[in-house]
Structure 1
Amino acid sequence: MSPNMQAFLAFLQYFVAALLLLAAFLAVYVRVTPYNEFELIGQNNAAAAISLAGACIGFALPMAAAIYFTHDLLEMIKWAAITGAAQIAVFTLLRRFAPAIEQGHTAPAIFMCAMSVATGVLNAVCMS
């Protein structure tokens, strides 16, 4: 097999695994929150979209770092569990903002987004 094909297959393996892990994280995350972000987003609730976007980015950044630093699928899966738990912990600590987000208030959603992204950045950089 050519080096280009090997590189493409490695890319595909990590990319598909990362997308599946992101989907699994989202499935768990929307069950942990007291509301369904996807339903709220469907109702044009920008606050829910902002909050969920922060959790997605906060999850994806450490996943990117795990792929970059470990080059190992099993390690990536372990880090997915760790970073997913970190994102759920952020939501749990800031849970008091949930009713405001459900009502569409964007200020608490932006704060939640920022805390999720900040946690993801710190999680990612601690892997290096």
Structure 2
Amino acid sequence: MFDMAYFTNGALHFIVAFGLACLFLTVFKWLYQVSTPYDERALIAANNTAAAVALGGAIIGFALPLASALEVTSGVVEFAAWALLAGVIQIVAALIIRRVVVRDMAQRIEAGNLASATYSAATSIGVGLLNAASMTY
């Protein structure tokens, strides 16, 4: 039988959790874009698929641990702490890729190099998966 009070409570929790997750995803996307030496928005507007692939991978890479944090946390503050940690890890990993592993990654993305963008996206997603799996305690 349908329990309206139970549904209302669950729906309220869903709205808060989903809203916070969307907010964190938006803030992460902005911080990620600020951390790159190129302008993703302009590159994507100019039809640079490499920029879109790299940014898309970063977004998915952060959404994975965010989803995990939603599942394992019991409150807003704990969720926010895990989201913050996950975001820092994702941005640091991207910086390491750009500054240590593939030092000319920015130039490659700006030039539309899809192979480099795919590598960047795959790294972001891989780090995100490890990030999410590490949230089990």
**Length-normalised TM-score, structure 1:** 0.96
Q: Which runs of 5+ in 2 are unaligned?
A: none
Partner residue in 1 for 2:130 = 122
The match for 2:116 is 108
| SS of residue in 1 equivalent to 2:135 | coil
Give the alignment partner of residue 36 of structure 1, picking from 34, 39, 44.
39
Larger radius of gyration: 2
- Give the whole-Å Cα distance in 2 for the aligned partners of 1:79 and 1:62: 8
Aligned length: 128
1:123 Cα deviation from its structure 2 partner: 0.5
Matches within 5 A, 1:59-78: 59-78=62-81
1:55 aligns to what SS in structure 2? Answer: helix
Query: How many angstroms does 1:53 deviate by?
Result: 0.6
Q: Amino acid of the residue matched to residue 35 of structure 2?
A: V
For 1:79 and 1:15, locate their aligned partners in 2 and report how far apart those are by CA, in whole Å: 15
CA root-mean-square deviation: 1.1
Q: CA deviation at 1:61?
A: 0.4
TM-score by length of 2: 0.90
Paired residue for 2:24? 21
* Cα distance in 2 for residues equivalent to 1:99 and 1:76: 36
Could you say what secondary structure the match of 1:94 adopts? helix
Shift >6 Å, 4+ stretches:
none
- 1:82: which partner in 2? 85
Question: Separation in 2 of the partners of 1:78 and 1:22?
Answer: 14
